[in-house]
């Protein structure tokens, strides 16, 4: 688990240096699709690669049996419901932010381009709303939640996996970053509870994650 986080961190640093050098050369212009893809997939070697390595060398060589990577029809309904619940939490958090602050509500969609082409929009939707939820749920609710839950109990597993999930989505600085992390951690808690309700199956949490990311991407691209 810690190795997966370390690989994610190294990948993120490398991707950040690539993006930073490119932005510097282009005087802060919007990132192109290629650089956005680099930023999105930079953590996948850790989040996807480590569970695959773990199941191959230490487990049953099955992501379904070891980490619950399965989807049943009932998971779709629960996933949509869970995704809507998570979005409701973010709406409430946004209302509280606007009541307490005169600054714009923080968003982690700033990396998305404004007015993208149809092809770029579809590519981003596939990457962010379909692929990313599968990869992140496999690591955080498949591996992380199980590993911590088995050692310290499920309540600790839910809290720990959700906090780490939120911290790894920290963007910006100060209260801006903390707000994004807190909201993302609340998503993680909802996803974790869906997995527990399903007896360890990831299907419903993946669908819920897809709903959250899909709404976020569509909203950001349409408003941009």
Residue 195 makes CB contacts below 8 A (sequence gap 6+) with 68, 141, 145, 201, 202, 204, 205
Q: Where residue 180 falls among pLDDT bands split at 50, 70, 90? A: very high
Better-scored residue on pLDDT, 194 or 44:
194
This prediction's pTM: 0.90
CA nearest 216: which of 108, 89, 131, 143? 108
**By three-state DSSP, how is residue 135 classified?**
helix
- Section 23-47 average pLDDT: 69
CA nearest 169: which of 126, 138, 202, 128? 128
Cα–Cα distance, 35 to 123 (Å, whole number): 13
């Amino acid at each position: 688990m810690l190795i997966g986080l370390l690989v994610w961190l190294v990948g993120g640093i490398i991707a950040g240096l690539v993006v930073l050098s490119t932005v510097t050369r282009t005087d802060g212009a919007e990132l192109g699709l290629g650089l956005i893809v680099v930023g999105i997939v930079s953590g996948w070697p850790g989040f996807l690669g480590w569970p695959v390595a773990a199941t191959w060398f230490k487990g049953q060589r099955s992501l379904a049996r070891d980490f619950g990577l399965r989807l049943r029809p009932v998971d779709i309904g629960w996933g949509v419901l869970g995704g809507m619940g998570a979005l409701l939490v973010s709406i409430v958090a946004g209302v509280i932010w606007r009541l307490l602050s005169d600054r714009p509500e923080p968003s982690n969609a700033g990396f998305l381009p404004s007015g993208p082409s149809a092809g770029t929009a579809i590519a981003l939707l596939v990457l962010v709303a379909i692929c990313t939820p599968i990869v992140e749920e496999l690591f955080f609710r498949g591996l992380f939640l199980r590993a911590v839950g088995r050692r310290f109990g499920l309540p600790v597993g839910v809290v720990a996996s959700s906090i780490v999930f939120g911290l790894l989505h920290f963007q910006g600085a100060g209260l801006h970053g903390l707000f994004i992390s807190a909201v993302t951690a609340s998503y993680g808690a909802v996803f974790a509870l869906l997995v527990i309700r399903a007896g360890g199956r990831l299907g419903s949490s993946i669908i819920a994650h897809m709903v959250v990311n899909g709404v976020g991407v569509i909203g950001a691209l349409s408003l941009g």
